């Protein structure tokens, strides 16, 4: 068995980040511009007239939580972060053609809609949807928009608000003017299913599962099967980009490195929008399994489509069986762990990346049980120096990735550690670290320098902001208010 232990030098990734999760030049804030004194009683939210979308339920929840939290900075950051998606990125309207709810969601500083990000950004608001008809309509509109975008091109990861073209129209792939970017990532098709399923379960509204949904799930299934790449058939997708970043393009004429056709699904790119090395991305394949089973349940209970439901369920079983056979590695220190990427030939890429789906985040997405022994071994591995993208410094620690480079930890990884932890002290350490690495801005950033958090990337990144709010709400709902109130800065 050949094992590829990924390394920073081997992957040749230290170049200026571009694409979905960074501006062409990272936003770095110098020491002398960081605020030294912060007024925690003054919100950093936009003025009410400048907020893109307003929700009485969200505002009530913010007021309720602020009264519960004793730590002034924690209460201030919750107020800033939890509504950031609706305050700054949500464009809610009626569709011009069918008159139904329609929501286009920016990622933040990039004015395009990622299927992954938009699904994650509005996810925490579902728990309040039954308290606020307008909030519920906004989430419904996001789901409807996602299904329509999938039907434009199931291989695309990000879309424009209309056929406006954009920066990546010259990519060597089947671009369309509606596409912002066409990087094939498994999770782009999983997040919409996850969001729609949860919305249905929480609200009872099955109206979203109409003909547009049926077309979308048909394309999702077909795309997954094509990207199993069985019998030497690579399918219709290939991708190349003229770029100085090796992770922005696929080798071997745009096909990527070979895979065995073992039943797993190829993901040419990671959730970070960086190219995979071995194209069976393990956490994304786990996500595909649970997503296909959710789809099968919807198709059975709502659409009365037993044949299509059976196909989705059978594909989920096939991928799950292949994961059990090919996705694990016997590590000399940590025992049996999940690899990050495999190729079905016996090669493994041993690492984790901060973006979700990731190995550490699999219980958060419901893809593995948090007490699964292999997951627990993997968790210890990824939060250690054995993971080449784990960075630890004087100010903090966490998982990064090749998208940003050395010594940059993503707050998302710290939040995922807390969201999947069963240890109160570990959770407290994670929340404290998040509070201490915001550079006194009151928001999460894409990444921060583990030795100087005043150096960070992306000042406006709505997913991480709203995820911070989701974390705090979950901890309160789980009965951990005393833990939060024990934090002292």
How confident is the model at residue 35, as a pLDDT?
Answer: 62
- Residue 239 pLDDT > 50: yes
Residue closest to 19 by CA, chosen among 274, 267, 190? 274
Would you place residue 20 in the very low, low, confident or very high pLDDT band (cuts 50, 70, 90)?
very low
Bigger pLDDT: 9 vs 416:
416
- Residue 237 pLDDT > 60: yes
- Residue 170 pLDDT > 60: yes
pLDDT tens digit sequence for 109-150:
999 999 999 999 999 999 999 999 999 999 999 999 999 999
Q: What is the mean pLDDT of residues 171-181?
A: 98
pLDDT tens digit sequence for 438-466:
999 999 999 999 999 999 999 999 999 99
What value does the mean pLDDT of the chain take? 93
pLDDT tens digit sequence for 34-82:
566 789 999 999 999 999 999 999 999 999 999 999 999 999 999 999 9
Bigger pLDDT: 20 vs 388:
388
- The answer to whether residues 459 and 29 touch, using CB atoms and an 8 Å cutoff, is yes
How confident is the model at residue 88, as a pLDDT?
Answer: 98
- Residue 27 pLDDT > 50: no
* CA dihedral of 383, 395, 26, 11, whole degrees rounded to 10: -30
How confident is the model at residue 309, as a pLDDT?
Answer: 98
Q: What is the mean pLDDT of residues 168-177?
A: 97
Q: What is the mean pLDDT of residues 273-289?
A: 98
Would you place residue 166 in the very low, low, confident or very high pLDDT band (cuts 50, 70, 90)?
confident
Residue closest to 279 by CA, chosen among 183, 384, 372? 183
Residue 281 CA to residue 214 CA, distance in Å, equals: 26
Residue closest to 164 by CA, chosen among 155, 174, 173, 175? 175
- Residue 362 pLDDT > 80: yes
E strands, 269-393, are 280-281, 328-331, 335-338, 341-342, 348-349, 390-392
How confident is the model at residue 26, as a pLDDT?
Answer: 38
- Residue 4 pLDDT > 80: no
pLDDT tens digit sequence for 298-335:
999 999 999 999 999 999 999 999 999 999 999 999 99
pLDDT tens digit sequence for 69-92:
999 999 999 999 999 999 999 999
How confident is the model at residue 2, as a pLDDT?
Answer: 39
Q: Which residue in the block uniquely carries the two structure tokens 């990444």?
A: 447
**R_g of the chain, CA atoms, integer Å:** 21
Residue closest to 115 by CA, chosen among 93, 136, 142? 142
Residue 158's DSSP bridge partners are 114, 181
Q: What is the mean pLDDT of residues 466-489?
A: 97
Q: Does the predicted model carry a pTM greater than 0.85?
A: yes
How confident is the model at residue 489, as a pLDDT?
Answer: 82
Would you place residue 488 in the very low, low, confident or very high pLDDT band (cuts 50, 70, 90)?
very high
Would you place residue 14 in the very low, low, confident or very high pLDDT band (cuts 50, 70, 90)?
very low
- The answer to whether residues 62 and 476 touch, using CB atoms and an 8 Å cutoff, is no
Q: What percent of the chain has pLDDT over 70?
A: 93
- Residue 215 pLDDT > 50: yes
- In three-state secondary structure terms, 203 is helix
């Amino acid at each position: 068995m050949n094992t590829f232990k990924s390394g920073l030098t081997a992957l040749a990734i230290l170049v200026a980040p571009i694409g979905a999760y960074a501006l062409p030049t990272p936003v770095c804030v110098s020491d002398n511009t960081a605020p030294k004194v912060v007024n925690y009683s003054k919100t950093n939210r936009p003025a009410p007239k400048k907020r893109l979308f307003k929700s009485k339920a969200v505002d009530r929840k913010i007021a309720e939580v602020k009264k519960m939290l004793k730590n002034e900075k924690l209460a201030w950051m919750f107020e800033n972060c939890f509504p950031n998606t609706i305050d700054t990125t949500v464009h809610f309207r009626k569709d011009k053609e069918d008159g139904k709810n329609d929501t286009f969601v920016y990622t933040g500083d990039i004015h395009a809609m990622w299927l992954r990000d938009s699904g994650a950004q509005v996810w925490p608001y579902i728990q309040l949807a039954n308290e606020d008809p307008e909030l519920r309509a906004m989430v419904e509109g996001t789901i409807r928009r996602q299904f329509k975008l999938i039907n434009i091109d199931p291989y695309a990861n990000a879309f424009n608000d209309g056929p406006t073209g954009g920066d990546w129209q010259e990519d060597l792939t089947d671009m369309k003017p509606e596409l912002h970017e066409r990087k094939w990532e498994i999770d782009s098709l999983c997040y919409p299913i996850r969001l729609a399923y949860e919305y249905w379960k929480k609200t009872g509204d099955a109206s979203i599962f109409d003909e547009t949904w049926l077309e979308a799930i048909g394309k999702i299934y077909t795309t997954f099967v094509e990207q199993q790449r069985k019998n030497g058939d690579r399918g219709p997708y290939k991708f190349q980009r003229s770029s100085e970043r090796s992770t922005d393009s696929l080798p071997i004429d745009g096909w990527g490195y070979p895979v065995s056709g073992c039943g797993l699904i190829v993901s040419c790119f990671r959730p970070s929008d960086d190219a995979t090395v071995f194209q069976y991305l393990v956490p994304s394949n786990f996500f595909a399994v649970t997503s296909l089973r959710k789809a099968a349940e919807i198709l059975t209970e709502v659409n009365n489509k037993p044949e299509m439901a059976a196909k989705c369920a059978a594909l989920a079983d096939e991928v799950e069986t292949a994961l059990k056979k090919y996705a694990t590695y016997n590590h000399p220190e940590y025992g049996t762990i999940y690899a990050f990427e495999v190729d079905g030939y016996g090669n493994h890429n041993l690492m984790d990346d901060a973006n979700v789906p990731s190995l550490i985040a699999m219980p958060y997405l419901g893809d593995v049980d948090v007490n699964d022994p292999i997951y627990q071994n993997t968790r210890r591995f990824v939060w250690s120096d054995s993971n080449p993208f784990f960075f630890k410094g004087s100010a903090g620690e966490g998982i990064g990735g090749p998208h940003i480079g050395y010594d940059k930890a993503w707050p998302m990884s710290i939040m995922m550690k807390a969201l999947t932890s069963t240890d109160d002290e570990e959770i407290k350490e994670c929340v404290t670290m998040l509070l201490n690495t915001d550079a006194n801005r009151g928001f999460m950033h894409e990444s921060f320098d583990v030795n100087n958090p005043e150096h960070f990337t992306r000042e406006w990144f709505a997913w991480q902001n709203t995820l911070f709010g989701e974390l705090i709400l979950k901890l309160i709902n789980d009965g951990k208010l005393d833990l939060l109130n024990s934090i002292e800065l």
